[in-house]
Amino acid sequence: MSVEIHGSVAPGFEPVADCFAANFERDDGYAELGASFAAYRGETLVADLYAGWRDAARTIPWTRDTLVNIWSATKGVAALEVAVLVDRGRIDYAAPVARYWPEFAQNGKAEVTVSQLLSHQAGLPGFAEPTPVTDFYDWATVTDRLARQAPMWSPGEKNAYHAMTYGFLAGELIRRASGMSPGQFLAREVAGPLHADVWIGLPQSEEGRVAPLVPSPRQAPFDLDAMPPEARAGVTNPNMEPTLPNSRAWRAAEIPAGNGHATAVGLARLYAMAANGGSFDGAMLMRPATVEALNTVQTERVDLGVGIAPRWRNGMAGSVMDMFGPNPEAFGHPGWGGSFGSADTKNRIALGYVINQMGDRAIGDPRGTDLANAVYACL
């Protein structure tokens, strides 16, 4: 079945549309089912593309306002929320987390800094106590559990991807500093002013726009025996399954490490604010110095959870493997399956990409990498 590409690109960016269309014709296990891609240069939307189907049976067309779970690309959204609070003087990256969340100081965590927490150095990559997925739907249960938990290593000495714990840790920091849940703060103070269609905790009213995720045909089971214990902790207890986001309970909860829902344009608008020095479309959310602090590398170590050095910033990854384009100082966050958002302050480029046909990678999905590089080739 042929795919009709919808949307538009600015003059000179036609190769981006060609690349987007080519992703639907792939024969390497990464062929698109439904997808949207958006790119801003400065405040100009230079690519706004969408195509395909919302369902695996290919009966419901994908539309410009189709929402999809973006898995760990949600972490970048939470990092932007923290940065807004940093700009307002409500959070200091160098301060101990316990300054804002006193209970967090238990069991050797009194000196863990906000930056260490955001860059996966806090020693809490997974839960020590038994944690079923249903516990994710009770905020106090999981945050109290993490506050009590002892770190797996001396904080700051290692980094291992905090696959699901990151969101509750950063989210509780947001809650303590703002008085709002991370989903509320996003809606009122970040996505709202930017008119960005991005959610953490999806209202029932938006449910009809959601495209369910389809697992990758290439996805192999996690080889737990081959993983270091720090990495294993991030994907077990509970076991992460690609179709967890297809339940209403998951979508309705606030899980800031993995249950954000977004359109491509919505995600790109959040990152366009950062790419343009903290201001976008009449809304000023932070100063350029805060964007620079957000994008300051915290560790160059190989991450024990993902097996490469993502050059973790304050909640963001760098453009390793060209996943956000060829500028290594571009920053953002990918999600399991392929979605991502990113910003480049040098070139004032912001990208948003959302899909329902998952790939098998957490970092470096070739579809998104190709699209990012196509944008830069047109500059």
Structural domains of the chain, ranges and CATH numbers in brackets: 6-80+183-377 (3.40.710.10)
Q: What's the burial of 241, exposed, middle or buried (CB within 10 Å: 0-12/13-18/19+)?
A: exposed
- Pairwise CA distance, residues 75 & 71, whole Å: 8
- Taking the CA atoms of residue 66, residue 71, residue 72 and residue 76 in that order, the dihedral angle to the nearest 10 degrees is 30
The number of angstroms, rounded, from the C-alpha of 24 to the middle of its chain's C-alpha atoms is 23
- Which of 203, 217, 180, 191 is closest to 56 using CA atoms? 217
**In this predicted structure, what is the pLDDT of residue 1?**
60
CB-based burial label for 268 (10 Å; 0-12, 13-18, 19+): buried
Residue type, 68: V
What's the whole-model pTM score? 0.98
* Among 355, 356, 358, 351, residue whose Cα is nearest residue 372: 351
| Number of CB atoms found within 10 A of residue 105's CB | 16
Q: How many CB atoms lie within 10 A of CB 124?
A: 29
Long-range contacts of 19-25 (CB under 8 A, 24+ apart): 19/370, 19/371, 19/374, 20/47, 20/49, 20/51, 20/371, 21/51, 22/370, 23/367, 23/370, 23/371, 24/51, 24/52
pLDDT in tens, the chain (379 residues): 679 999 999 999 999 999 999 999 999 999 999 999 999 999 999 999 999 999 999 999 999 999 999 999 999 999 999 999 999 999 999 999 999 999 999 999 999 999 999 999 999 999 999 999 999 999 999 999 999 999 999 999 999 999 999 999 999 999 999 999 999 999 999 999 999 999 999 999 999 999 999 999 888 887 888 889 999 999 999 999 999 999 999 999 999 999 999 999 999 999 999 999 999 999 999 999 999 999 999 999 999 999 999 999 999 999 999 999 999 999 999 999 999 999 999 999 999 999 999 999 888 899 999 999 999 999 9
Task: Using alpha carbons, list the distances in angstroms from residue 170 to 126, 181, 207, 261.
Answer: 14, 11, 26, 18
SS3 category, 34: strand
Quote the CA–CA distance of 336 and 355 in Å, as a whole number. Answer: 11
Given a contact cutoff of 8 angstroms between Cβ atoms, the answer to whether 331 and 215 are in contact is no
As a whole number of angstroms, the distance between CA 329 and CA 297 comes to: 9
DSSP percent split of the chain into helix, strand, coil, nearest 5: 35, 15, 45
